[in-house]
Structure formats: C-alpha cells, structure tokens
Homo-oligomer: A and B are copies of this chain.
Amino acid sequence: MPDMSSDLALFNELAEILLSEEKNKPVAERIDSDKLYGSIDLSLNDSGLIDDEFKGVLRDILIATPKTATNLFFNQLFGGRQGKAVIGDLLAVLLNNSMYTYKVAGPQVGIEQEIIRQSCDMVGYGAQSNGTFPTGGSMSNYMALVMARDSKDPECRSAGMTKPLTIYTSEASHYSNAKNVSFAGIGKDNIRYIPADTEGRMIPEKLEEQINIDVNNGFIPTYVNATAGTTVIGAFDPIDQIADITEKYNIWLHVDGAYCGAVIFSKKYKHLLQGVDRSNSFSYNAHKMLGTPLTCSIILVKDKKQLHDSFSNEADYLYQTDGDDFNLGKTSFQCGRRNDALKFWTLWKSIGTNGLEQMIDRQFELADTARKYIRNNPDYTFYSFDDSISICFNYKNIEPMALCTALYEHQVTVVGFGSFHGDTFIRLVTVNANNTDRDIIHFFKMLEEFVTKTPDLTTSKEAILELS
C-alpha cells in the first residue's frame, strides 16, 4: 500500500491556501466563462505533472473557484461551513465504503440508520417507518413519486404505465417535480400546478377542486407534493389541511423539505410542518439548513414496505451476509452509493440535537434581522414574508438581475434573484448559521455603497439584454 503522508501534506498545504484566500478575498475574482480555458491550465495530457507544477495548478483553481463558505455568499440554499461536518466527510473520502451492504460498510450502516431512526421519531412516523439517503433533493422527490405511482398501481412495476395518473404540486414548488413526472413515464401533461396564495402557500381548496375535476374526467389522482420551504420565497405549504384532502381521496402525500424541512429540529419552528406525521414520505437536505457538505439528502417513509417494494432487488453477488435491515442497497435507487451519512452524524454527535436546533433558530433570527432592516428602510421594497429564511427585496427600483450580476462581477457579494407572482427581486438567503446579525447588516451596507458608486446601474439595459 502506498504511503499517503505526502498526499495528505499537500492537501493540508492547499487547504491552508484556500482558507487564507477565503479570509482575504471572500468573493473570488470571476473569470468570464469564455476566458476560462485560457486563464487556467485545465487541460489533461498524456504526461502527468511533476509535484510543484501540480501544486501550482491546484492553487490557481482553488483561488478562482467561487467561495461558498464565506459570509458574502448568499446565492444558493446552502452556504457556510460546519467544521465538525467537514471532518466526517473528509473521513468518508478516506474510508471509501459503499453503503449497499453491511459487509463493506459495517458501522457506517448503523450511522445512517441512527440518523434515519431519530429523524422518523421527530417527524412522528412510528415503528414501521424507515428511509434512505438519496443523492439529492430532486432524487428524494423522485423516489417519493415512484413509490406513490407503484402503490396506486402496483402492476406498473411489471406492466409499465397503463393508467391515467395525475399528480399535484404548487405553482411555487421545485422544478424537479416536472422533470420527475417525465422520468417516471407519467408525463408532464399530467402534473397539475395548484395556485399559491399571496404568501406562496398552496391553496388547499384549489387542490381539492382540481382533484375533483380530474376524478370526474377519469384520471386517478396519485401524488401530492407539499413543499416545506419553496425554492424562491421559502413558503411552507399548509400540510395539515392538505393531509385532510389526501386522506379523503387516498392520495400519497410527500413533503418536500429539501430546503426547510430541517425545522423539525426546532421547537420554535417545527409548527411550520404541522401535520407532517400524516404524510407518506418526507425529505430534507442536511446540506442546506444544517450546513453539511454537499450532498446529504434524507427521505423518510412512513411504511418501509413501500420503499422496499419500489427499490429492492435480488443480487446474490452483492448481498452475502446479514439481513435486509443492514443491507441498505435493498432500499436505494443506486447500487454503489457514497457515504453521505457520516458528515451529518459527526455534526449531530458533536453538537447534539440542541446544537442543530440552535443552527435552525439562528437562521430565522438572521432572517428577522434582514426583514427588520428592509422594513425600516424606505429605499427597499419587500416581497417575502415572516417565517421564511428567503428575504426577497428590491432596492431603489434597480433592476435586480443587473444588480446581482454587477455585485458578483465586482466581487462585492454573491446573491441571486428570483420571481414570484409577476415580481422579480433579489433573494437573500440566511441559510449560513455561522453568520451574525452584523454580517447581514454588512450585506445591505455593501449593496447600498456599491449602488452609490455605480450610478449607471439604474439604466443598465445592456446587462439585462445580455442576461435574457
């Protein structure tokens, strides 16, 4: 076995460069995409590089890669870095177990199952529940959809799609719902987008109306996707009221908590998921509110038989020891599967459920700080709502796309824009629990200062045209 010490030494050296770069230049200098290949030597060649050249290229890459862990990154539904989670993921890289069997994953199976068991308890799912770690939030939704389809029409697994199934999700839900119905052979024509109210929540009455229309037209309502934290404005669909409907019509209810499902960890905010125990499946991404490295997605299923029925397989070459409960390949989409559990487990173990709760609560506090700042400042227009960590606003009627792009290109801060019910606005996401109130106020101050220094922003039509 080759010695790893020089490779680990190089990693440590590069890690130090990266961490110091993050301090000195929290927003990486942007390289225009059309200049990328001319700026850094990304080429792969017949011959390898000697160590110093290799280090030099990696250094260039690290410096130019967008920094997602700093206090100036607000662009995605993840951000920041939790050191204890990083330890777990670094170890997972070295350990390199595939999660399909107890034979090759050993205690890592228990680690995954402990997270799932505790999560099921928090959701209130009861003794028949279980879950798995899909490869992301889209895949979580997809697995839920496949289970819903197979449980409504068990013949589908062998005969293929033969029945006119329909599925329901809010107009404000994630785009994976549309892709997933296509993948599953249901077809995008059979997805029904239910209107959201002015605060972005699915309107239950509209859902029931649509279900009745479909039933009358001979369709078979199969699946309702409720969202805990919509992608743009972070709204929570009213799960309890939706569950009244899905129970009445015998429809699978999935709660997509990819963004904000982790509020189950907070005594103060878990009421936003009121009724989740009545759902059939629920997913959340620990790589979003809980700050683990990408990806760490968890789907929980109230009746584990559904997971098994849709995803199990026989493979003697693979399952050679121990029972199904320890051979996790029997309930996953994948065969070989990376260990995404250890990073979440190290974080949870080291700070406890109480520590995770504090992370969640902190993000809502930061959101409150941002909302208060905006509401107290007449130069801002506010577009989002309480109980959300997505803060949507415009400043002095400046075109948000142009402003976001300019902020990024001038290395001020990385933030994105979004749209809801006809308005387009900047979306600040307070998902980095390492941030303080000061970081949030600093964001606004920097934005204001930048606008003052950049007067042509208000008429930046070229920037808009370029983007569209």
Q: Which residues of B contact A114 (CB under 8 A)?
A: 42-44
Provide 9 A-B residue pairs closer than 8 Å at the C-beta atoms, listed in order of the A residue: A1-B71, A2-B81, A31-B106, A90-B90, A93-B293, A135-B334, A138-B334, A160-B185, A317-B418
Q: Are A313 and B97 in contact (CB under 8 A)?
A: no
Q: Tell me the A76-123 residues at the B interface (CB within 8 Å).
A: 76-78, 80-81, 83-84, 86-87, 89-91, 93-98, 102-111, 114-115, 118
Q: Which residues of B contact A213 (CB under 8 A)?
A: none
Is A274 in the interface zone, CB < 8 Å from B? no
Cα A58 to Cα B349 in complex, Å, equals 10
Q: Are A467 and B320 in contact (CB under 8 A)?
A: yes
Is A203 in the interface zone, CB < 8 Å from B? no
Q: Are B337 and A136 in contact (CB under 8 A)?
A: yes
Q: Are B81 and A86 in contact (CB under 8 A)?
A: no
Is A28 in the interface zone, CB < 8 Å from B? yes
Cα A29 to Cα B427 in complex, Å, equals 51
Cα A419 to Cα B455 in complex, Å, equals 73
Cα A323 to Cα B34 in complex, Å, equals 10
Is A449 in the interface zone, CB < 8 Å from B? no
Q: Which residues of B contact A198 (CB under 8 A)?
A: none
Q: Which residues of B contact A295 (CB under 8 A)?
A: 336-338
Is A22 in the interface zone, CB < 8 Å from B? yes
Q: Are A45 and B353 in contact (CB under 8 A)?
A: yes
Q: Tell me the A51-86 residues at the B interface (CB within 8 Å).
A: 54, 57-58, 61-62, 64-66, 68-71, 75-78, 80-81, 83-84, 86
Q: Which residues of B contact A404 (CB under 8 A)?
A: 320
Cα A47 to Cα B354 in complex, Å, equals 6
Q: Per-position contact with B for A5-33: 1 when CB-CB < 8 Å, else 0?
A: 11110111011001100110000101101
- Top 10 nearest A-B pairs (CB, nearest first) are A185-B185, A160-B187, A7-B83, A48-B352, A161-B185, A161-B161, A135-B135, A317-B418, A48-B351, A47-B352
Q: Are B97 and A86 in contact (CB under 8 A)?
A: no
CB distance from A121 to the nearest CB of B (A): 10
Q: Tell me the A351-367 residues at the B interface (CB within 8 Å).
A: 351-355
Contact of A68 among B97, B138, B351, B401 (CB under 8 A): B97
Q: Are A137 and B294 in contact (CB under 8 A)?
A: no
Q: Are A12 and B12 in contact (CB under 8 A)?
A: yes
Chain-B contact segment, one of A174-182, A204-212, A238-246, A374-382: A174-182
A2 and B434 contact, Cβ closer than 8 Å, known pairs A103-B408, A136-B335, A408-B103: yes
In the complex, what residue of chain B is closest to A61 when comparing beta carbons?
B107
A427 and B317 contact, Cβ closer than 8 Å, known pairs A86-B7, A184-B184: yes
Cα A37 to Cα B359 in complex, Å, equals 28
Cα A40 to Cα B354 in complex, Å, equals 22
Is A249 in the interface zone, CB < 8 Å from B? no
Q: Are B75 and A86 in contact (CB under 8 A)?
A: no
Q: Are B33 and A353 in contact (CB under 8 A)?
A: no
Q: Are A81 and B187 in contact (CB under 8 A)?
A: no
Cα A338 to Cα B45 in complex, Å, equals 25
Chain-B contact segment, one of A151-159, A275-283, A300-308: A151-159
Q: Are A104 and B414 in contact (CB under 8 A)?
A: yes
Is A266 in the interface zone, CB < 8 Å from B? no
CB distance from A409 to the nearest CB of B (A): 9
Is A423 in the interface zone, CB < 8 Å from B? no
Is A417 in the interface zone, CB < 8 Å from B? yes
Cα A136 to Cα B158 in complex, Å, equals 24
Contact of A335 among B6, B104, B107, B138 (CB under 8 A): B138
Q: Which residues of B contact A189 (CB under 8 A)?
A: 158-160
